[in-house]
Structure 1
């Protein structure tokens, strides 16, 4: 498949979404066609946030030649663009109210004020209701852009107030080509990473450039395939949770330390100096925020493992129905073929159903180790506990 033609700046980082880019460019150029609330949906890694930011840059700029303003937006430094990207489990009512309040200010220097809400699916019903009035009757020069995996992830009342734009899923070859261009990775590794990431661009880039991430994924899936009883299930579940926790710490530790040092510097304290009571509340608030972010990071890591496991048993069911040409985990084809022969399709479907239930359980804050142990017992027995 030929590579998509790159759109002009600021759309150059949007990959494989030509129809969506053209729709948004047309809206920017024709104010009469510009909706004041948009919902950009697409699977994780499809480029929702990148597209939303490029749209915001085009809206705020005085025209296609105003690159200075557009670069300011892309750098996250323009006063007329507010982006809410939460690293917590949910978007809070307080955060939503702050956005609504900001949406009623006119633009300070650009043509529009733009409010971008990434992961809008993390709003509870009460939080979503805070946005309803602002989405229905926004000020003339305010544009809302919500991002979510699908329309079904938002309330019908929200969906009725926005113009929806659905992104397409890029194919493996296109994602692999993008990774090669961005990172210089070996094309074979880039293709494997794109396949294993199931076309999620961010995850594919990490797998292509991080040997340890690729090794962890392979070890985890082989451990799942090697689970033979309850004791194995308990051990492998513990290994998965520990790996997700260690990975989250590795991703957040440097950032946490930098944030703490920056806060201490702001209040005039040197590293190691005693924190006075007047500042302690700010330190505590920062630590609470970092803990919430760490919990979210662990949960996202576990969800990634479940996605990888889902691809494993999806491959098994494909083999059971004679579809050998589109395996995600081609490197494990021999082991998966043995499993596909030994199991009935009904057993594979039971495992896939329990995988979906496990994902829901983790979202409800069920203890990760218990949820994974239950899932792995199903893998070994073919029956729900």
Structure 2
């Protein structure tokens, strides 16, 4: 067993990373050898396991046995507590230049336990232009023992100057059978449920696990896939848009409520609220109000991102629906992601033309672009619903 065993359907990537980790382990004094470099870029479609691959590689670099999967070093990396691993997750809509410069300073430190200090930058494509320029400078002139692991959906999501300085590891979408096998063997999911979840998730491993284990996730999927047959008029389109946006808002609120409260409480304590004793008062000390306002802004940005991601996931479910309709209209011999609602797919395929189906897919993709451009979600989704109705 190694740290790479959990990477489903990524044999080529595992071979590259294993060789690099072995080469890194053979180098004396923390230098770089054949197959090893100071900056890596992990790309691949959503659900392919970009972050999982980067984390496994980090464990292989920090483990004295090249990623055995059972030592303390590997365990600390996999749970995110290793002192030589810095994990960066942009919580808001983007990652600022201020945050990047602070990260670069931390990255310059020497490792405390091994040869390497590893910076794992999830969603590196969310860095602003100024942040990307600062990151480029750090990658161009890296400290001798620092390794950067950047994750992004595609090469084009990062500046070409950053891409040119990284070794690229491209992950692929795992097959339905591979994902189903993982669910059945590692999560003890019945094979029929595992196959359904893997097919519906279209290779997205975390999404497949959620569909297999969470009844709420299955109910949300059913609600989204019921939208096409409900769009019988303008009023129904507006109602469907309102439900979709409201559901995304509720998910964002549920995901952030407890975290926001804990962060706010800790910050207030840090700035002395509730303290007693000589020279102290029960309110925030100087600077506390500004720090609290900055925290609230970050929390709002995080909630907006979660809401947008939730909406985007629903839109991709709709894309898969119309993609299946198009496949049936052309008689394509492909696996249907939504085979469990074949009757609905067949009915729409018979009532419409391939041109109409393509127009509907284009409307969904345009809605995604509008949401990414900060168009009001209700307006963007309403326009899409009107374009989807028969």
The aligned counterpart of 2:7 is 14
Tell me, in whole angstroms, the C-alpha distance in 1 between the residues paired with 2:176 and 2:141: 41
**5+ unaligned residues in a row in structure 1: which ranges?**
1-7
Q: 2:375 aligns with which of 348, 366, 379?
A: 366
Q: Can you list the C-alpha shifts for 1:49-106, whole angstroms capped at 9, x where unaligned?
A: 1111121122123334692222222222222211111121111111221222223222
Verify the 8 A CA contact 1:320 1:341 in the aligned structure 2.
yes
Q: Displacement, 1:185?
A: 2.6
Q: Report Cα offsets for 1:26-58 as digits up to 9, x if no partner.
A: 112114121111111111111111111121122
Q: Does 1:136 align with 2:136?
A: no
Larger mean CA deviation between 235-244 and 146-155 belongs to 146-155
Q: Please tell me whether residue 220 in structure 1 is matched to residue 217 in structure 2.
A: no
Displacement of 1:128 after TM fit? 1.4
The superposition leaves residues 345-376 of structure 1 with CA deviations (integer Å, 9 ceiling, x where unpaired) of 11111111121111111011101111111111
TM-score, structure 2 as length reference: 0.89
Q: Which moved more, 1:115-124 or 1:306-315?
A: 115-124
Name 2:19's counterpart in structure 1: 26
Q: Is the 8 A contact 1:61 1:111 kept in 2?
A: no
User: Secondary structure, in 3 states, of the residue corresponding to 2:232?
Assistant: coil
Q: 1:181 to 1:262 in 2, by over 3 A?
A: farther
Q: For the Cα contact (< 8 Å) 2:9–2:174, is it kept in 1?
A: yes
- In the TM superposition, residue 111 of structure 1 has moved relative to its aligned partner by 0.4
- Greater CA deviation, 239-248 or 182-191? 182-191
The aligned residue for residue 155 of structure 1 is 159
1:231-246 alignment runs, 5 A limit = 231-246=235-250
Aligned residues: 373
3-state DSSP class of the match of 1:143? strand
1:92 aligned onto 2:96: yes
**Is 2:297 the partner of 1:288?**
yes
Say whether the 8 Å CA contact 1:249–1:294 is kept in structure 2: yes
Query: Is structure 2 residue 272 aligned with structure 1 residue 276?
Result: no
Matches within 5 A, 1:129-208: 129-208=133-212
Alignment root-mean-square deviation, CA = 2.2
User: 1:166, 1:265 → 2: CA distance?
Assistant: 45
**TM-aligned CA deviation for residue 277 of structure 1:** 4.8
Tell me which residue corresponds to 2:262. 258
User: Secondary structure of the residue that 2:389 maps to in structure 1?
Assistant: helix
Q: Displacement, 1:295?
A: 0.8
For 1:116, which of 120, 132, 143 is the aligned residue? 120
1:284 Cα deviation from its structure 2 partner: 3.2
Q: Which runs of 5+ in 2 are unaligned?
A: 25-32, 276-280
TM-score (norm 1): 0.90
